Structure 1
Amino acid sequence: MENAGKIRVEIAYARPDTQIIVPLEVSPGTAVEEAIRHSGVLESFPEIDLGTNKVGIFGKLVKLDTHLRAGDRIEIYRALIADPKEVRRKRAAEEDK
């Protein structure tokens, strides 16, 4: 069996215009960064910079050297384009008019 000893994980990335979830089989003990590089997501989305983009597993921030477990979904986060507090403040000001 070719996949003996492998675990299944997913790599997820989304932009406003598209999203991708890449299923992947990796060896136990594989780090988040290794899985992302192996997935091909970096080639499909060259704007991703692992030095600046944060990553998480199921919504919880993790470091690139975090070891994966079976079923983990690695999420690559984009930078915020606006400060959420400022957006709420502007929205509240517009509603008061």
Structure 2
Amino acid sequence: MKVVVMWSPGPREVLEWPVALPEGATLGQAVMASGLPDQLPDFEPDDALLGVWGRKAAWNQPLREGDRVEVYRPLRVDPKVARRERFTKQGARAAGLFSKRRPGGKPGY
């Protein structure tokens, strides 16, 4: 069975390793077979978040032919906090659905 293990070390940068595994292999076996832990010195298998095709999965989840195994980076900033900071920096008038009105348009359109 062939699967692909993917890792993104930074924005707009993706590394992938095609891996051949026996039938019934798990997510954890695919990550270890890819060689990713050897290439990343600070990789902690116990703390790593994994997924298959964009959905979170456990280390012991069995894989199917053609699955894309994804190893996720931890978030540096909480998305809610980042949005609040952007909003306060932009101001209330520059953000939102109706921030750019047509010249001569009615309020709210």
Q: Normalising by the residue count of structure 1, what TM-score does the alignment of the two structures yield? A: 0.88
For 1:62 and 1:13, how far apart are their aligned partners in 2?
A: 15
From 36, 41, 45, the counterpart of 2:36: 41
Tell me the equivalent position of 1:9. 3
Residue ranges of structure 1 left out of the alignment (5+ in a row): 1-6
* CA RMSD between the two structures: 1.3
Residue ranges of structure 2 left out of the alignment (5+ in a row): 93-109
What percentage of aligned pairs have identical amino acids? 26
For 2:48 and 2:77, how far apart are their aligned partners in 1?
A: 16
Q: Normalising by the residue count of structure 2, what TM-score does the alignment of the two structures yield? A: 0.79
For 1:40 and 1:59, how far apart are their aligned partners in 2?
A: 21
| RCO comparison, higher one (Cα < 8 Å, 6+) | 1
For 1:80 and 1:30, how far apart are their aligned partners in 2?
A: 28
Segments ≥4 residues shifted beyond 6 Å: none
